[in-house]
Amino acid sequence: MHFNIIKIAALLCIATIVGLTSCNQNTSSEKGSQVAADSTFTNPLLTSGADPWAIYHEGNYYYIKSDASKITLMRTPDITDLEHAEKKMVWNPPAGTDHSKNVWAPEVHHINGNWYIYVAADNGDNRNHRMFVLENTSRDPFTGSFEVKGRIKTDDKDNWAIDGSIFEHRDTLYFIWSGWQEPKTKEETQRIYIATMSNPWTINSDRVALSKPELKWERNWDYPDAWTPESPVYVNEGPQILKHGSKLHLIYSASGCWTPYYALGMLTTDENSHLLDPKAWTKSPEPVFQQSPENGVYGTGHNSFFKSPDGTEDWILYHANDNPADGCSDKRSPRVQKISWTENDMPVFGVPVATSKQLKKPSGTPMK
């Protein structure tokens, strides 16, 4: 009897140990699954959002977007978790002004301690699209207010201009944008221009055209499955600067956004070159990033770039569609993926990944 009691007690002890071990294993497995889920993501980052732009500043990404009438700023330490980002509507232009409608492609920049938003807008007539700059002198862009600093006059005749971006190189500010050489007649041709600036809101040089839609892949405009303009519209737009090593790359979007052929092109120059010299830039003969029917990604374009939180990785942020006929609608959604580099400082963008593909988050992204 005494032996049986001891035996039963021993068996209960073993069962308890096994149970605790099993429990610990299950807990560890669950924690491992949670860690894996926290370290990966899938595209798109939001269900809708054209012309995405973001920067990393003091532990947070600042993502900016417009809905054609106002501008919203978003803040998050995890760019892949925009759905839960802090949000604030930072600009709602008054009705009846020359910048009250068609608010396109805003960018937010931190320059000399102030915050600036560059945005294209008009009075309801696309022919009147021009670039505007907003300024907020607060240290935190979610406090204070963004006020119109001015309308950027891009040339003596104040021609049509959209998609402006600013960058600094060798202690000089540069402005790049998409514009018309002259007012539209029958055809419309958007060129990529560059000029120097005396301050974040004033151009102080003649504009110089760096690129025009001349290659076959840059000139897709007729796509009846979605929408086709009444007359040809040839597009170079959305310029962005990407620096690496000894080279500067100007990445731009080409062909109509209403077509699935909307793609990224590239101009490249040496860091020591004269940036206002068109001959200093070399155009890639083929798109550097384009649709992938195999992965169900179309109309890849109007991108920006950002660094991972720890500064070790370069990422592309772009919009795309899930279907070839989605066009320039609100079906466009923001997506990201890491880019790599060749030994001679040329970017490798790869192929746009499918929305089902699990991607590792940018290096240094804080865990929840």
Kindly tell me the burial class for residue 100, based on how many C-beta atoms sit within 10 Å of its own C-beta (0-12, 13-18, 19 or more). middle
Q: How far from each other are the two terminal CA atoms of the chain, in whole angstroms?
A: 55
For every residue of 121-161, DSSP letters joined together read EESS-GGG-EEEEEEE-SSSTTSS--EEEEEE--STT---E
CA distance readout (Å), 242 to 109, 125, 264, 365 = 15, 32, 13, 22
236, 255 Cβ separation under 8 angstroms: no
Buried b (16+ CB within 10 A) or exposed e, 254-281: bbbbbbbbbbbbbbbbeeeeebbeeebb
Q: Indicate the pairing of strand 359-360 with strand 40-41.
A: antiparallel
Element (H, E) at 8: helix 2-39
Q: Indicate the pairing of strand 233-234 with strand 130-136.
A: unpaired
Q: Is 225 a catalytic residue?
A: no
**Which residue carries 């104040």 as its tokens?**
158
* Per-residue tokens: 89: 């509507």
* CA gap 228, 125 in Å, rounded: 19
* Per-residue tokens: 131: 């670039």
**Catalytic residue among 163, 237, 314, 326, which?**
237
Q: Indicate the pairing of strand 188-189 with strand 233-234.
A: parallel
**Catalytic residue among 51, 107, 135, 326, which?**
51
163, 183 Cβ separation under 8 angstroms: no
Residue 167's Cα: distance from chain center in Å?
15
* CA gap 299, 326 in Å, rounded: 9
Q: Is 58 a catalytic residue?
A: no
* Per-residue tokens: 258: 């209403």
Active site amino acids: 51, 237
